[in-house]
Amino acid sequence: MSQILVITSGKGGVGKTTTTANIGVGLAMRGHKVALIDTDTGLRNLDLLLGLENRILYDLVDVTSGRVAYKKALVRHKKFENLYLLPTSQVKDKSAVNPEQLVTLCAEMKKEFDFIIIDCPAGIEQGFKTAIAAADTAIVVTMPEISAVRDADKIIGELGRADKENVKLIVNRIRPQMVEKGDMLDMGDIDEILSVACIGQVPDDENVVVATNRGEPVITMNGSTAGQAYKNIVARICGENVPFLKPQKEGFFARLKKLFGLL
Amino acid sequence: MNDIVTIKGLKYGLQLTFAKGASFDDVQANLLNKLESGDSFFIRGTTVFVPKGYFAEDQNEALRRMFHRHGMLFSTELKRPNLAPPSCDTVKTPAQKSKAKVEDAQKMMVINRTIRGGQEVKANCSVLICGNVNPGAQIIAGGSIDIRGTCRGFVHAGAFGDKTACVVADRLMPAQIRIADLIARAPDEDVKASQAERAMIRNNMIIFEPVAR
Ligand SMILES: Nc1ncnc2c1ncn2[C@@H]1O[C@H](COP(=O)(O)OP(=O)(O)OP(=O)(O)O)[C@@H](O)[C@H]1O
Ligand SMILES: [Mg+2]
């Protein structure tokens, strides 16, 4: 049975696109047939992370508006032959694709693919509503800081409102030394607020930036901690029970309250 | 234009008074406008009181129908309505959609979920939340609020002026708490909420006391 995942966050810049690219590559490396759909209209960069920018001929809007069949717009990855990208438009605005169009498209693509992964724009506007419409699982990406966690909380609420009850969490850019010193939220703190199943804890890793610049997601780099974390996420998505890299400490109420400026 | 109808919050609902010389048609048009613009006073399930004898019987009937259409009760008797109002289950904020359950006897809205940032629960009656109230969430209740979980959001009990209302939570650390017309803000220094507490009004001040659960 094929799965449709949406990668979302609320707050921008927390690593949705990075996560989409890495999970996509990871699933393809395991032999699954994967399609990535970039719905961040006007801010295209999933193609960059995959090193596919120069191969784009058509985009999502060309497909949903009926100009071309989706198969014509798909860009096949040069190295991972099971991986395809449906790029977004650079020029059109965020309302160029509506939820029904994406649902119809995904229903058709489901016949061909094991996984369809949708990269969602930041925010909770129309673009978000379109991106989540077709998904059966939502993966919320957040970072260990108050504003990102609060936005993730809102997004989880919005997902519930849209009857998307299957929600998973990925915490990105964790810096263990800062957590250790109490300068960054730890998993216990985050779990207390969000209380949804966590499928990944990705450390802050400069290899992510190196990988981005090379157009090869970090999951392909052996020995990188973020790469290993993404491999574990992919395994969990495939239903394997992988322990987390490093057990995190329990949450401290006092610190949490200090950070939230509460009682 | 806005002064044609004055709305006053009471313990059991809203009292309407009208500008001198305002015709029934003006009043009705004004109210309809308020209802349709989603005026925050008119929470579904609220009872609206109009002074007895102010309007003719058929006019009252027209108002009653209008309020009913918007999910509100209409009365000319200034007392707690004793018919179990549909209040609790008609409050359909998207936040608690289908999951709210009514315990008519106690007029208590039960919500079995966490209320997340940006979500809002409004009820004429008391509210029991089996879940957390997260930062940025709002609970506004005509009666008391009981949270079986951690409260970090904004809570207002006794929103129509009931000073006997209280707020209870397993861990009570709201950003702001209001009971009737009193407001308490979270102190800036760190205080542990390690056990269940109740906030209520004593000597015209909001006080906190531990409770056993
Ligand atoms: N684990 C990580 N370690 C270090 N840098 C990271 C990590 N994850 C993401 N980044 C960097 O953070 C930046 C933002 O990442 P990304 O573009 O994936 O976020 P996004 O959520 O898609 O942003 P937007 O909301 O703009 O679409 C990028 O420069 C990326 O390289
Ligand atoms: Mg992005």
Write b or e for each residue in A185-219: b if 16 or more Cβ atoms lie within 10 A of its Cβ, otherwise e: bbbebbbbbbbbebbbbbbbbeebeebbeebbbbb
For residue B195, pLDDT over 60 is answered with yes
Any idea which ligand is nearest the CA of A38? 2
DSSP class of B133:
B
d(CA B128, CA B122): 12
Amino acid at B94: P
- Please give the distance, rounded to the nearest whole angstrom, from the Cα atom of residue A88 to the centre of ligand 2: 11
Q: Tell me the average pLDDT across B101-127.
A: 79
- What mean pLDDT is reported for chain B? 80
Instruction: Determine how many CB atoms are found less than 10 A away from the CB of residue B53.
Output: 9
Domain that holds residue B44: 5-75
- Please give the distance, rounded to the nearest whole angstrom, from the Cα atom of residue A15 to the centre of ligand 1: 4
B42 versus B183: which is more confidently predicted? B183
d(CA B126, CA B140): 9
- Residue B145 in contact with residue B131, Cβ under 8 Å? no
Residue B87 falls within a domain, yes or no?
A: no
The answer to whether the Cβ–Cβ distance between B172 and A260 falls below 8 Å is no
Residue B98 falls within a domain, yes or no?
A: yes
- Residue B171 in contact with residue B132, Cβ under 8 Å? no
Chain B partners of A260 at a C-beta cutoff of 8 Å? 135, 152, 175
- What mean pLDDT is reported for chain A? 90
Predicted confidence band at B89 (pLDDT cuts at 50, 70, 90)? Answer: very low
Residue B162 falls within a domain, yes or no?
A: yes
Q: Do B99 and B133 share a structural domain?
A: yes
Whether chain B has a CB inside 8 Å of the CB on A191: the answer is no
Q: Please, which residues have CB within 8 angstroms of residue B192's CB and are 6 or more apart in sequence?
A: A253, A254, A257
Residue B85: its pLDDT value, please? 36
Residue B49: its pLDDT value, please? 83
Of A114, A144, A34, residue with least CA distance to A82:
A34
Q: Which strand ranges, in their side-by-side order, compose the sheet holding B108-111?
A: B101-103, B108-111, B126-129, B145-151, B167-172, B197-202, B205-210
- Please give the distance, rounded to the nearest whole angstrom, from the Cα atom of residue A151 to the centre of ligand 1: 16
Residue B86: its pLDDT value, please? 35
Q: Do B153 and B196 share a structural domain?
A: yes
Three-class DSSP category at A105 = helix
Three-class DSSP category at A21 = helix
Residue B89 falls within a domain, yes or no?
A: no
The answer to whether the Cβ–Cβ distance between A253 and B174 falls below 8 Å is no
Residue B138: its pLDDT value, please? 95
Amino acid at A33: K
Q: Do B194 and B153 share a structural domain?
A: yes
Q: Are strands A3-8 and A137-142 parallel, antiparallel or unpaired?
A: parallel
Residue B40 falls within a domain, yes or no?
A: yes
For residue A199, pLDDT over 60 is answered with yes
Q: Do B124 and B70 share a structural domain?
A: no
Domain positions in chain A: 3-261
Specify the range with the lowest mean pLDDT, choosing from A214-223, B53-62, B101-110.
Answer: B101-110
Count of structural domains within chain B: 2
> Looking at domain A3-261, does it have CATH number 1.10.10.10?
no
Residue B190: its pLDDT value, please? 55
Residue B50: its pLDDT value, please? 85
Residue A45: its pLDDT value, please? 87
Instruction: Determine how many CB atoms are found less than 10 A away from the CB of residue A79.
Output: 14
Residue A262: its pLDDT value, please? 47
Q: Tell me the average pLDDT across A63-92.
A: 93
Predicted confidence band at B76 (pLDDT cuts at 50, 70, 90)? Answer: confident
Residue B84: its pLDDT value, please? 35
Residue B87: its pLDDT value, please? 39
Least Cα separation, residue B186 to chain A (angstroms): 5
The Cα-based distances of B149 to A47, A81, A123, B111, B174 in angstroms read 44, 49, 28, 12, 12
Q: Please, which residues have CB within 8 angstroms of residue A227's CB and are 6 or more apart in sequence?
A: A22, A205, A207, A211, A218, A219, A220, A221
Residue A250: its pLDDT value, please? 40
Kindly state the percentage of chain B with pLDDT values over 90: 39
Residue B139 falls within a domain, yes or no?
A: yes
Chain B partners of A154 at a C-beta cutoff of 8 Å? 116-118, 136
d(CA A248, CA A260): 21
CA-angle at A79, arms to A78 and A84, nearest 5°: 60
CA within 13 Å, CB half, A222? 0
CATH number of the domain at B188, please.
2.160.20.70
Residue A202 Cβ contacting ligand 1 at under 6 Å: yes
Residue B63: its pLDDT value, please? 87
Q: Do B70 and B165 share a structural domain?
A: no
B123 versus B87: which is more confidently predicted? B123
Residue A40 Cβ contacting ligand 1 at under 6 Å: yes
- Residue A176 in contact with residue A137, Cβ under 8 Å? no
Torsion sign over Cα B107, B112, B114, B120: negative
The Cα-based distances of A140 to A129, A260, B24, B113 in angstroms read 14, 21, 54, 19
Rounded to the nearest 10 degrees, what angle do helices A187-194 and A146-161 cross at? 30
Report for A42-46, A47-51, B51-55: range of highest mean pLDDT: A47-51
B188 versus B174: which is more confidently predicted? B174
Residue A248 Cβ contacting ligand 1 at under 6 Å: no
